[in-house]
Amino acid sequence: MEGDNSSVRSTLNKNLIILHFTVFIWGFTGILGTLITIAAVNLVWYRVLIAGLSLFLYFKFNKKAFSVNLNTFLKLAFTGVLVGAHWILFFASIKLSTVAVTLVCLSSITLFTAVFEPLINRKPISKLEILSGILIITGITLIFKFETQYTKGIIVGLLSAICASLFSIINSKHIQKNEAPVIAFYELFGAFFWITIYMLFTHGFDSSMILKRADIGYLLILGTICTSLAYVAGVSVMRELSAFRVALITNLEPVYGILTAFLFFNDMKKMTAGFWVGAVIILSTIFLYPIAQKQITRRKRIN
pLDDT digits (tens, 9 = 90+) for 111-165: 788 788 888 888 777 778 778 778 877 887 777 777 678 889 989 999 999 999 9
Per-residue pLDDT at 6: 66
**Confidence category of residue 269, pLDDT binned at 50, 70, 90:** low
Supply the mean pLDDT for the chain: 83
Average pLDDT over residues 177-197: 91
Q: Which has the minimum average pLDDT: 100-104, 143-147, 174-178, 282-286?
A: 143-147
- Portion of the chain with pLDDT greater than 70, in percent: 91
- For 17-35, the pLDDT digits (tens) are 888 888 888 778 878 888 8
DSSP collapsed to 3 states, the chain: CHHHHHHHHHHHHHHHHHHHHHHHHHHHHHHHHHHCCCCHHHHHHHHHHHHHHHHHHHHHHCCCCCCCCHHHHHHHHHHHHHHHHHHHHHHHHHHHCCHHHHHHHHCCHHHHHHHHHHHHHCCCCCHHHHHHHHHHHHHHHHHHHHCHHHHHHHHHHHHHHHHHHHHHHHHHHHCCCCCHHHHHHHHHHHHHHHHHHHHHHCCCCCHHHCCCHHHHHHHHHHHHHHHHHHHHHHHHHHHCCCHHHHHHHHCCHHHHHHHHHHHHHCHHHHCCHHHHHHHHHHHHHHHHHHHHHHHHHHHHHHC
In the predicted structure, residue 50 carries a pLDDT above the cut 90: yes
Greater model confidence, 14 or 258: 14
**Confidence category of residue 5, pLDDT binned at 50, 70, 90:** low
Question: Taking the domains of the chain in order of start, what are their residue ranges?
Answer: 9-302
